[in-house]
Amino acid sequence: MEPAALPTALQLAASGDTGLSLEKRAALGASLLLLQRDYRFERVWFWGCIQGVRGTYYIAQGLGPDLAAPRSRLYSLNCVEWSLLPPATVEMVEQAALLKGLFQGDPSFEYEYAEVNAEDDERFLEDGKELTIKEENRLVATIEQIDRAVGIIPRRAFMKTPLGSVHENRNFEGLSLTEAKKLSSYFHFTEPVNLKNKTLLEKADLDPSTDFLDSLEHDVPQAVKCKYAENLIQRFLWWDIPLKKCYQFGFLLLFCFWSSE
Amino acid sequence: EERKEAGRAPPADKQARRAARAAAEWSGAPAQREWERQRQQVQKPSLCPVNRPRELQQFHRLSLKASLPTAEANSRPAPSGNGCPGNGCRFTSVASEAEGLLGRLAMAEHGPYLPHEPGYGLYQPGYGLFDDQTPDPDHRMLACQNAKAYLLQSSLTSGLNLYDHLVNVLTKILDERPANPVDIFENISKDVKAAQFQKKMDTLRDEHEILPSFESAEIRRNLFFKSDAGDEEREEELGEIPLPNVMETAFYFEQGGIGLSRDETYLIFLALKKLVSVQPIQTCRFWGRILGREKNYIIAEVQFREGEEEEETEEEEVIDEGDKRMDEVEDEDEEKEKNEPPKSTYKPPPVIPKEENGTGANKHVYFVCNEPGEPWVKLPPVTPAQIVCARKIKKFFTGRLDAPIVSFPPFPGNEANYLRAQIARISAGTHVSPLGYYRFSEEEGDEDEEGGGGRDDYEENPDFEPLSAFEMVESLSTWVHHVPSILKQGRCVWFNPLQKTEEEEGEEEEEEKDEVPDELQQETGPPLLTPLSEDEGIQNIPAWTVSLSTRLIPQYAVAILRSNRWPGAYAFACGTKFGNIYFGWGHKYSLGNHTPALPPPVQPEYPNGPEIREAADPTVEEELAFKAAQEQKALEGMEGEEEEEEEEFEEDEEEEEEDD
């Protein structure tokens, strides 16, 4: 979310180990604004942090005017100096899926496949060398997977213009309490998969400008709702990530979790 | 559109019209006309949101309907950047307005334009708008009135008319002044229409909504009430409060980015204070928070004052005796039955007794609540069987202490027991302190104990010299575990289940004939106060991650320790202070996904031999034929084979009986 809203979000999102000490929070406020200036992003969001064995990666996302466009991702080890991450490819994601265990905390670390099946060998090995994957690529793939799995927005928060680009809905004032409790009022912010499979009756009820994404209702396993004071906190047990949303202030997206798998 | 605007501002005065015409001829560009149109619009009643009483709003609406420019438009001293007349607002009633209107129109009221300003030369009196298009003013008036009549037509379906609706929409826009109203114009229009359906005056009043958040707020508010005056006196007498300074510990953890928000920590602080005032507690500590699917658990680690725990054990003994009595009654009933099924020869493995309260895994008592402010619930002591089973299963907590745990192998207990077992495991695995903070208390005969473990007692070291944070971070040998580790058996001190008491010796001698009991090897674990460098990691991941809270100010840095085996367990050390805490789901780190234990393989059936093999019953003809054959054989070899025949006949009879 925006760096200005970070303290509020962290207060709500407090599940214990946010990984953001006061020093880092203060640094973020300054460095994210400079990122916006240097990369000419329209908006910079703090995505969260991934904790490795020896260090922690802090991830930020830069957005242009279209929210559905591929986002540029940056990482930093100390919240002051940021480096751009390469965009995720399908191959990267496949390779990263074979890795298990925590991140090391060193972006140049190279993982070696020790327990790769013979089939995978044929697929990946071309030169006969031992296949290695850099931690940077693993990071990119992990972030992509997380975004795809748990990037959710409340209904009617984003609108699709006739030209195809996605914008924030300026008339969105948050969800009411009853709406916030239902899983159907949240959408996955990825390419919709289930939308085409809906029956015509269901499609008739949808508003194409706001209902252009998959809702959370049909997810397996189900997302778990946890009430914290009067704010609703969604937790995804699959990825063990808390995703927070406060219906009073609109919404905030924050991923902050403990390494992988 | 043009007609609408013309309807709003018909230049009633010829002079003004002429001025406008001259200006249009002179400039000739449509852009100028456009600009002028915009100026006309801008000079419409610009409503200052600051001072705008209801009557004024009404006044402006009437004026719009009357299609007359109002006082501000004509009394503006100079063109200002925004449309707001600023301090020059003069609000008069409609009647007087109409009187003064014509007079004002006569004058060129748009201020002295300087040559460099865009209005220069445009507003000459006597010039009207669109004069070149519709030369006949009467026709134009008629056209305007027709247009307005059309707009005032009310719709058959909704009863609204476009004119009123547009007035409402524009009023709303002018009231709220959103940015880029043209982009959200449709939404505003929809909102105005939707507002029609909200009844402002209704005889039925809505019942005041009671949100569920009110109850939780009330619970939290009760924390802030001080207890009776009697407790106050008691507090003043007591020198030491068993309550720790939770905020101080939270401050150090916050340096490392760990912990709940300050508000919530303070609420937990107050909740702990309530616990201390209710229960007879010697030491108390905030252990941490375990997340659950529906609700979370806040856990306090507590040690009772001596002598206060006996009540609990008495209750448990009563329960045990009650169970024994039930068993005896059942046995008597069974003996009365004649046809008893054969007793199985299965002997369950001996039950390993739990450790005494105050020692080993049950050294501390844990209190639990879901939210700060709710009453604290005491967790039952943990048994070795529960720990052994908890190691094999992985279940998320739901947040309700009485929830059943459905798992394989079946967990002996409900969620409260599972929670207690996980707390015991986490404490044993991750509670650490700086080297030298605790030392073994010097007692005689410590070395050879029957339990086989190391020394159990430790106390605070008064000669503790703290290391700097940098040294704490450099190597892991500066940290030690101060909680005994739990053995495979499920206890901290090994218990030999084959120890025979005097009562049981008689029974076991008989049973020894059947089985030879295996000799169990004594289990040992790492002794107390072992440094963390001895901890095994998982594959190539070390067991602990150390870091400094800040590299920029090393003098005041705090050393933060993060466990990789139990994700969520943290420890800090800063000078003479240290602390442990847990925030997490309550599970150990596993490299792959958790695979639950498979059920045991299907037990083999009784081996298939001739004595149990089924055969089809012989039919009557076969039996007769068989009998006939036998009798023939008997006739043939009577004497020599009589015995054999009898045996065969008996066998046949037996077979026939079995077949029957």
Q: Which residues of chain A have pLDDT under 50?
A: 116, 118-119, 126-129, 225-261
pTM of the predicted model, to two decimals?
0.67
pLDDT > 70? residue B52: no
What is the per-residue pLDDT across B408-426, written as a single tens digit (0 to 9) for each?
Answer: 888 988 999 999 999 999 9
Cα–Cα–Cα angle for A142, A148, A152, nearest 5°?
A: 125
What is the per-residue pLDDT across B286-328, written as a single tens digit (0 to 9) for each?
Answer: 999 998 888 889 999 988 877 665 445 444 444 444 444 444 4
* A–B interface: beta-carbon pairs under 8 A: 92
Quickly state the pLDDT bin for B354 (edges 50, 70, 90): confident
Query: B76 or B256, which is more confident?
Result: B256
B293·A101 Cβ contact <8 A: no
A129-143, B18-32, B191-205, B332-346: which has the minimum mean pLDDT? B18-32
Query: Tokens 């206890």 label which residue?
Result: B491
pLDDT given at position B135: 55
End-to-end CA distance of chain B: 108
Of A16, A24, A227, the CB nearest to B583: A16
Tokens of B449: 């104990």
A21·B213 Cβ contact <8 A: no
Q: Which residues of A touch B554 (CB under 8 A)?
A: none
Contact B543, B535 (CB under 8 A): yes
pLDDT given at position B449: 39
What is the per-residue pLDDT across B632-641, written as a single tens digit (0 to 9) for each?
Answer: 988 888 766 5
pLDDT given at position A114: 53
A19·B257 Cβ contact <8 A: yes
Q: Which residues of A touch B550 (CB under 8 A)?
A: 21, 23
DSSP letter, residue B478:
G
Of A12, A101, A258, the CB nearest to B567: A258
Tokens of B278: 């209710």
Q: Tell me the average pLDDT across B615-638.
A: 87
Q: Tell me the average pLDDT across B543-550.
A: 84
A258·B568 Cβ contact <8 A: yes
- Measured in degrees and rounded to the nearest 5, phi and psi for residue A69 equal -70, 160
pLDDT given at position B420: 94
From the DSSP assignment, how many helices (H) and strands (E) are in chain B?
Answer: 20, 13
What is the widest separation between alpha-carbon atoms in chain A? 59
pLDDT > 70? residue B613: yes
pLDDT > 80? residue B2: no
Tokens of B238: 């007591």
Task: DSSP for A223-239, please give it.
Answer: PEEEEETTEEEEEETTT
Of A14, A101, A240, the CB nearest to B541: A101
A16·B568 Cβ contact <8 A: yes
A24·B261 Cβ contact <8 A: no
pLDDT given at position A9: 64
pLDDT given at position B369: 92
Quickly state the pLDDT bin for B367 (edges 50, 70, 90): very high
What is the widest separation between alpha-carbon atoms in chain B? 160
**Residue A205 is which amino acid?**
D
Of B211, B263, B593, the CB nearest to A177: B211
pLDDT given at position B416: 94
Query: B472 or B392, which is more confident?
Result: B392
Task: Chain A: give the shortest CA distance to residue B570, in Å.
Answer: 9
Tokens of A153: 């927005």
Tokens of B268: 């937990």
Of B187, B191, B258, the CB nearest to A16: B258
Distance CA B371, CA B390 (A): 25
Q: Show which of residues 214-243 on chain B sit within 8 Å of chain A, judged by CB atoms.
A: 216-217
Quickly state the pLDDT bin for B69 (edges 50, 70, 90): very low
Percentage of chain B surpassing pLDDT 70?
60
What is the per-residue pLDDT across A169-197, written as a single tens digit (0 to 9) for each?
Answer: 777 776 776 777 777 777 878 777 777 77
pLDDT given at position A234: 46
* Chain B residue nearest residue A105, CA to CA: B545
Name, of A16-20, B15-19, B578-582, the range with top average pLDDT.
B578-582
B557: Cβ–Cβ under 8 A, 6 or more apart, which residues? B255, B469, B470, B548, B549, B550, B551, B574
* Chain B residue nearest residue A17, CA to CA: B258
DSSP letter, residue B130:
T
What is the per-residue pLDDT across B592-611, written as a single tens digit (0 to 9) for each?
Answer: 777 888 888 888 888 877 77
Cβ–Cβ contacts within 10 Å for residue A235, how many? 22
Cβ–Cβ contacts within 10 Å for residue B479, how many? 24
Cβ–Cβ contacts within 10 Å for residue B346, how many? 5
A240-249, B11-20, B59-68: which has the minimum mean pLDDT? A240-249
What is the per-residue pLDDT across B271-282, written as a single tens digit (0 to 9) for each?
Answer: 998 888 888 888
